[in-house]
Structure 1
Amino acid sequence: MANYEDLGVKRIINAAGTYTKFGGSLIPSEIIEAMEDASHSFVDIDELLQKSGEYIARCLNVEAALVTAGAAAGLTLSAAACIAGSEPKCIKALPNSEGMKNEFIIMRCHRNPYDQALIMAGAKLIEVGNAIETHLYEVEGAINEKTVGIVFFIQSEMLEASLSLKEIITIAQDKNIKVIVDAAGELPPIENLVKFVKMGADIVLFSGGKDIRGPQSSGLMVGKKDIVEICRLHGYPHHAIGRPMKLDKETIMGLVRAIELYLKEDHQQRIKKWEEQVEYLKKGLDNIPYIQVFSGYPTQPLTQPATIPRVYVKFNEKTLGMTKEDIAQKLYEGNPRIATVVEKNYLTLNPHMLASGEEKLVLEKIKEIIKKN
């Protein structure tokens, strides 16, 4: 059986976070077992999606849930459902949304590469506000007869220019339009699984392969029953805009099991582990010449969630003769390969996906690079 080494692919020590490009997270053995069990039988996929959604909704005590092929796929299905509804003729027409209500309001400070997941369903994004501020009257003034919803990315609520989700929901409910919330990487805290729905959002999207640690290609949609059911009609296995976003039975059952485990997990113990890893790295780096180190939490959106502590390292690049980018690259090209995050002013170490003990290897390799230089 070929493994990563046989293919010439390096394994990674992940001090960056739940990045999709690094595989998101590591799947616990109990979830692999659930996926393996699912692989032995044929089932009706549409029935499985319905029943798994009902089961997850009961577990979370929300109106409705749906397993999706990742959070980005959930954005596409959400936009499609808001635009075309359950009308077969309209479902078949997408992404051509001509003649339909297809406008979604989005704050300028919420624009990001995932806009494309909305646009591919036929959505027209109407931008409001600017890089410095957004006013309620700008959102209200953008609503017209073609408006179907407002899109809100939780990570962007950290920005000064953003209105709060509560303000957006209040406007949307007053105007009878939908609110789609992207919370893909916003776990922990576990309370976020239901928080935004209980605030009044119509659809909330999470990655199944980040902190939940389900299959990387899975996502979770929770929300109001009427619109979540319409989202299902736009997805696989139906011949609609979501048909290419295929979900196998193993992935669906894997996410179901992942959620069961996630709800039982000791999240305080996980936080304690991260804090200890951060403290170890900070103390170890404090004694190295030509660098400044501090620990803290993100204040700008980048690697979510902002609830996990980080180590921020600033190098005297002139004295060392290396930039933070150089050091990050050396870590990535080393053996073992170590992934970190390069921010505007710092090299950032995130313990979220570090196994116990891996923080020691990260510290050792940083010291080694600086010493060699």
Structure 2
Amino acid sequence: MDERSSLRALPSVDVVLNGARGAALVERHGRASVVDAVRTVLARHREGIREGQPAPSLEGVAIDAGNLLDARNRSNLRPLFNLTGTVLHTNLGRALLAEAAVEAATTAMREALALEFDLDTGRRGERDSHLRRLLCELTGAEDATIVNNNAAAVLLALNAVAAGREAVVSRGELIEIGGAFRMPDIMARAGVKLVEVGTTNRTHPKDYRSALSADTALLMKVHTSNYRIEGFTAEVDGRELSAIAHEAGLPMMNDLGSGTLVDLSRWGLKREPTVAEAVAEGADLVTFSGDKLLGGPQAGFIVGKRDLIARINANPMKRALRVDKIRIAAMQATLQLYRDPDRLATRLPTLRLLSRPQSEIRALAERLLPEVAAFLPEGFTPSAAECHSQIGSGALPTDTIPSFGLSIEASGSALERLASIFRALPRPVIGHLHAGALRLDLRCLEDESGFIENLRSIRQAELFSA
């Protein structure tokens, strides 16, 4: 068939839409979307015919249109296997929610709730009330409030308590975290003048005292969540800094960053200061995250003295930074799990994954090794290998957790090609390339059968293609 005949053989848009497969596409995607897809596919085939390719069948055009629509509608925000070795991976959504939190969030999405309605009085209520009692119970604070993340918590607290005045902070605590978040920038946006004291590695009580002036609004301590200074160092702990602030009649604010409500050493992890300890040390305000070590949805908490929390809640920015009913419901369910610390590690995914024994992960790696080796062609060398996981999201940045995984070695660009194929799987597999190998840390892999079935969709020919 010559080019002209092949072009004439192409079905019209109406013919495709009126066919059985086309009608099914219209039912699924809507007529306008299908018309656009069919026109796009036909345009591509016209170009192909001019380049010597054969004309497609009616069914072939409909199939191509369906594939195009599926690709357009496929979200990149879909489940994946996090085998990076970072449990709380910021780019992969951080904490997995507990089942109780998932159920609570689902209910909140489906139903009307008494979000800002007092069922006892029949009058308007406060959305923070659903979490206030729990937060005070778990931290020992007088009062509490919630915003959409910890950066917002710091911004709001500073603006409400110290706008137009000075906040004194150790130079060694002026952190920058992911996404170019810098504490000095947040303080500037809050309308607070930063007063740095001490040096990068050593800050003493006298440094804070000498910085006090009539313009000082508060003293601030910031947890260096994503780095550690070691060697010849000195810092003023929360208890002593609170005492210095209170001697001067000032509040002390402690930004814990990630924040935890329990002593992690109970599960074999390195100890981090808890929110309750910061409150007990005398901090008037403590800020921390909800979606990191706490294991809940993204949120930022401010707990502390009742009068200061009242000032914060009266700040107009509070409304701009508030959280919705879905996150409040999920966070309430998450916080309730902390009332039963004996079963916390079995119910809270973050803690379950962080405390998972290396021996259990090693056994998983040994079971998966032959499954992975079965689809890898010659030139790829997989092995089970010891590795080290990290918590992520700035928590315990210099500490790692012994783990186990799979290491796949190959030469040239083959590893990058393999990593790309893994990312294109129905459920993407995300590892990391390091030292001539694609490394898959299995600490966060709990769906073993689903992982194996997912790998079976790989065609070996893809591993050889350019």
Q: Same fold (TM over 0.5)?
A: yes
Secondary structure of 1:134's counterpart equals coil
- SS at the partner of 1:206? strand
Which of 249, 257, 266 lines up with 2:333 in the alignment? 257
Name the counterpart of 1:65. Answer: 144
Distance in 1 separating the partners of 2:415 and 2:174: 27
Once the two structures are superposed, the pairs formed by residues 46-125 of structure 1 within 5 Å of their partners are: 47-50=126-129, 52-84=131-163, 97=164, 100-107=165-172, 110-112=175-177, 113-114=180-181, 115=183, 116-125=185-194
Deviation larger for 253-262 or 332-341: 332-341
Out of 317, 321, 324, the residue aligned to residue 248 of structure 1 is 324
Pair 46,37 (structure 1): closer, same or farther in 2 beyond 3 Å: same
Amino acid at match of 2:288: F
1:11 to 1:230, Cα distance in 2 relative to 1, 3 A? same
Per mean C-alpha deviation after superposition, the further-off stretch among 19-28 and 347-356 is 347-356
In structure 2, the residue corresponding to 1:221 is in which secondary structure? Answer: strand
| Higher relative contact order, structure no. (Cα contacts within 8 Å, ≥ 6 residues apart) | 1
- Equivalent residue number for residue 226 of structure 1: 307
Kindly provide the CA deviation profile for residues 159-204 of structure 1, in whole angstroms up to 9, marking residues without a partner as x. 3279677625413421434132233265774682423323333333
Q: What corresponds to 1:92 in structure 2?
A: none
Aligned partners of 1:66 and 1:222 also within 8 Å: yes
CA distance in 2, matches of 1:167, 1:244: 33
Which stretch shows the higher mean deviation, 145-154 or 326-335? 326-335
Contact kept? 2:171, 2:196, Cα under 8 Å: yes
Equivalent residue letter for 2:333: R
- 1:352 Cα offset (Å): 6.6
TM-score normalised to structure 2 length: 0.57
AA at the equivalent of 2:356:
K
Deviation at 1:149, TM superposition (A): 2.1
Which has the larger displacement, 331-340 or 351-360?
351-360
Counterpart residue identity of residue 152, structure 1: V
| CA–CA distance in structure 2, aligned partners of residues 303 and 344 of structure 1 | 24
Q: Aligned partners of 1:232 and 1:358: how far apart in 2? A: 48
Match of 1:183 in 2: 257
Q: Quick check: 1:7 aligned with 2:74?
A: yes
- Is the 8 Å Cα contact of residues 64 and 228 (structure 1) preserved in structure 2? yes
Which residue of 198, 202, 206 maps to 1:134?
202
The gaps in structure 2 that reach 5 residues or longer are 1-27, 30-69, 118-123, 265-272, 347-351, 374-379
Shift of residue 321 of structure 1?
3.4
Contact 1:65 1:222 in 2 (8 A): yes
Indicate how the Cα distance of structure 1 residues 253 and 335 shifts in structure 2: closer, same or farther if over 3 A, else same: closer
- 1:324-357 deviations in whole A, cap 9, x for unaligned? 9887666545553233467999988666754353
Task: Give the secondary-structure state (helix, strand or coil) at the position aligned to 2:126.
Answer: helix
Q: Is the alpha carbon distance of 1:137 and 1:29 closer, same or farther for their aligned partners in structure 2, counting shifts above 3 Å?
A: closer
| Identity across the alignment (%) | 17
Quote the Cα distance in structure 1 between the aligned partners of 2:252 and 2:262.
Answer: 25
Distance 1:126 1:20 in 2: 30
- TM-aligned CA distance change 1:150 to 1:46, over 3 Å: farther
Q: Equivalences for 1:1-373 in 2 at 5 Å?
A: 6-9=73-76, 10-15=78-83, 16-38=86-108, 39-42=111-114, 43-44=116-117, 47-50=126-129, 52-84=131-163, 97=164, 100-107=165-172, 110-112=175-177, 113-114=180-181, 115=183, 116-128=185-197, 133-136=201-204, 139-140=207-208, 143-145=211-213, 146-147=215-216, 148-156=218-226, 158-160=228-230, 167-176=237-246, 177-184=251-258, 186=260, 189=263, 192-216=274-298, 218-234=299-315, 240-264=316-340, 266-269=343-346, 270=352, 271-273=354-356, 275-276=358-359, 278-280=361-363, 294-296=386-388, 303-305=394-396, 309=401, 311=403, 320-321=411-412, 331-340=422-431, 353-357=444-448
Q: What amino acid sits opposite 2:113 in the alignment?
A: S
Indicate how the Cα distance of structure 1 residues 297 and 248 shifts in structure 2: closer, same or farther if over 3 A, else same: closer
SS of 2:113's partner is coil
Cα distance in 1 for partners of 2:206, 2:449 equals 48
Inter-CA distance 128–278: structure 2 relative to 1 (3 Å threshold): farther
Structure 1: runs of 5 or more not aligned: 85-96, 235-239
Per-residue deviation at 1:219?
Answer: 2.8
Q: Please identify the structure whose Cα radius of gyration is greater.
A: 2
Contact 2:138–2:276 (8 Å) recurs in 1: no
Please say if residues 147 and 153 of structure 2, whose CA atoms lie closer than 8 Å, have aligned partners that are also in contact: yes
Q: State how far apart, in whole Å, the 1-side matches of 2:302 and 2:314 are.
A: 14
Q: Partners of 1:277 and 1:305 in 2: how far apart?
A: 23
Supply the RMSD in Å over aligned alpha carbons: 4.8
Partner of 2:151: helix, strand, or coil? helix
